[in-house]
Amino acid sequence: MINGLTMDDCPLTLTAVVERAETFHHGRSVVSRRPDGDIVRTTLGACAHRARRLATALASLGVEAGDRVATLLWNQAEHLELYFAVPTMGAVIHTLNPRLHPDDLGAIAADADDKVLVVDDSLLGVLAGFHDAHAFRHIIVVGGTGDTPAGARDYEELIASAEPMRWPVLDERRAAAMCYTSGTTGRPKGVVYSHRALVLHSLVAALPDQLEVSARDTVLPVVPMFHANAWGLPYAAALTGAALVLPGPRLDPVSVLDLLAGERVTMTAGVPTVWMGMLAALDAEPWRWDLDGLERLIVGGAAVPRSMLEGFDRHGLQVIQAWGMTETAPIGSVCRLPEELDEATPDERYEFRGRQGIAAPFVDIRARGDDGRLIAWDDRAMGELEVRGPWVAASYHRRGSDEASFTADGWFRTGDIVRIDPRGCIRICDRAKDLVKSGGEWISSVDLENHLMAHPAVAQAAVIAVPDDRWGERPLAAIALHEGTTASPDELREHLTQEFAKWQLPDRFEFMATIPTTATGKFQKTALRERFTRGV
């Protein structure tokens, strides 16, 4: 028996990732496109070095170990500097999603108790919407040119005024980052990532059969840095030395295609909505962009339709589907075609590539049927997917491990209904959670319903997701009015604008005498889906 320490017990912290970028990959480029379209060029080394100064400046403003530093930024070099500086100084980077309703943003900032906010000048209008809901101790503006809030600091001045920090030694279980995800009801829930989780996630993301990030890559994350850590790509790039192209707010197909071609990008990642638009642009003008260097498009966040796989194949571009969640940091599974299917028929290959893939290393999966038993991996039985692993959440910030989200033995309940084939490859067939995913962002059906039913004319409201070519899904509201009352769709939409962002409002309202219910009195959404998604 061998006792005692056998190997150096050095902590798995992001410090090692940031220092690696600084020491070995300092010359690798980081290209950002500003909101006005200007291209700004820097390097991983410069970002890492500026991160040291930024950390000192933040410390001088009173940021201490464990404090939350919020960001309201696009995919841009300054965001990367904060990804480097904040966790490495021992604080927690909290990425805010500017697309959320101001009430949600205010509630999230308060729930996270953010001490400092770093905001891009172009997002000051968003900040104005929730500024009163939470008192940030300091506001720091990036690229400030116009009206800045009273007392706000300038990002560049802060960096210029500070000396580089010597990184402290951290415990790998310390919180490094946090991100909120929409719940079925109520306010979004906070997920806190440890250093260890993000380091292991970066390592695995870089593996050949996962996202395959290497020093030879130029990576363009279309997926925002405020959504699940941009799928881990910034840290994976820092670790491996991949160059980064950060596209800012302009994510229309032509702008993205221009960057992909102009910067010779080798891999990119985002939700299906982005790629559907890109495919249409490519089909319309196939010769306009030289995408010879583009080896793979990682697509996830919503199901990848076969037409998208076929469409990009037509242009010689490989789409790889991945599945994950904010709660899984986010990579849960990746779908890479196994060798034995190399010679399979196109149908068989598309059938496989349309799946969400095989669990990433260290991620355990199982699925539970309606009867409470685990399902067989026979590709027929269906059940709710449960996961666990070193980068899977064990609780929500301030909410703990509630029963609806975690099993008694500590697995996370995903709310995704799957079949699992004998290889262990999952296919998502349905969603147990009452949510609509539109363009990669969530809309709570239950919150819409509750608010609709608060309208004096509405007796019953049930909201379902209907498929949409552009956005993946859009909300449809089935409404039963009280007898003798009237309410037009415009009036109901207006009623909802108090609580919901414009893009969250139902596109369609269907009026019915009563809404069908199940034996237990719940709205029978399957019947509604059947009726309205077929357009009957």
Q: Which residues are catalytic?
A: 181, 327, 437, 442
DSSP readout, 451-463?
Answer: HHHTSTTEEEEEE
- Residue among 147 and 430 whose Cβ is closer to ligand AMP: 430
Site string for ligand AMP, 430-449 (x = CB under 6 A): -x----------x-------
Please tell me the distance from the alpha carbon of residue 276 to that of residue 297, in angstroms, as a whole number: 12
Q: Where are the beta strands (DSSP E) in 314-396?
A: 319-324, 331-334, 357-359, 364-368, 383-388
Residue with tokens 């992001």: 14
Site string for ligand AMP, 383-422 (x = CB under 6 A): -------------------------------xxx------
- Residue among 54 and 417 whose Cβ is closer to ligand AMP: 417
Pairing of strands 114-120, 68-72: parallel
192 part of the interface to ligand AMP, by CB under 6 A: no
- Residue among 50 and 355 whose Cβ is closer to ligand AMP: 355
Residue 377 bridge partners (DSSP): none
Cβ atoms of 43 and 27 within 8 Å: the answer is yes
Cβ atoms of 533 and 436 within 8 Å: the answer is no
Please tell me the distance from the alpha carbon of residue 9 to that of residue 166, in angstroms, as a whole number: 21
The sign one gets for the Cα dihedral 230, 235, 238, 239 is: negative
Pick one of 205, 228, 478, 505: the residue that binds ligand AMP (CB under 6 A): 228
CB of 441 to ligand AMP, least distance (A): 7
Q: Is the peptide bond before 98 cis (omega within 30 degrees of 0)?
A: no
Pick one of 17, 141, 239, 303: the residue that binds ligand AMP (CB under 6 A): 303
> Which residues have C-beta within 8 Å of that of residue 178, sequence separation ≥ 6?
68, 92, 93, 94, 95, 112, 190, 191, 192, 193, 397
- Residue among 68 and 437 whose Cβ is closer to ligand AMP: 437
CB of 328 to ligand AMP, least distance (A): 8
Pick one of 130, 136, 155, 323: the residue that binds ligand AMP (CB under 6 A): 323
- The neighbour count for residue 522, using CB atoms within 10 Å, is 9
321 part of the interface to ligand AMP, by CB under 6 A: yes
- Residue among 96 and 141 whose Cβ is closer to ligand AMP: 96
Site string for ligand AMP, 346-375 (x = CB under 6 A): ----------x-------------------
- Residue among 302 and 425 whose Cβ is closer to ligand AMP: 302
Cβ atoms of 263 and 218 within 8 Å: the answer is yes
Residue with tokens 């571009």: 317
Q: Which stretch binds ligand AMP (CB under 6 A): 137-145, 319-327, 453-461, 482-490?
A: 319-327
| Residues at the contact surface with ligand AMP, assessed by CB under 6 A | 181, 228, 300-303, 321, 323-326, 330, 356, 414-416, 428, 431, 442
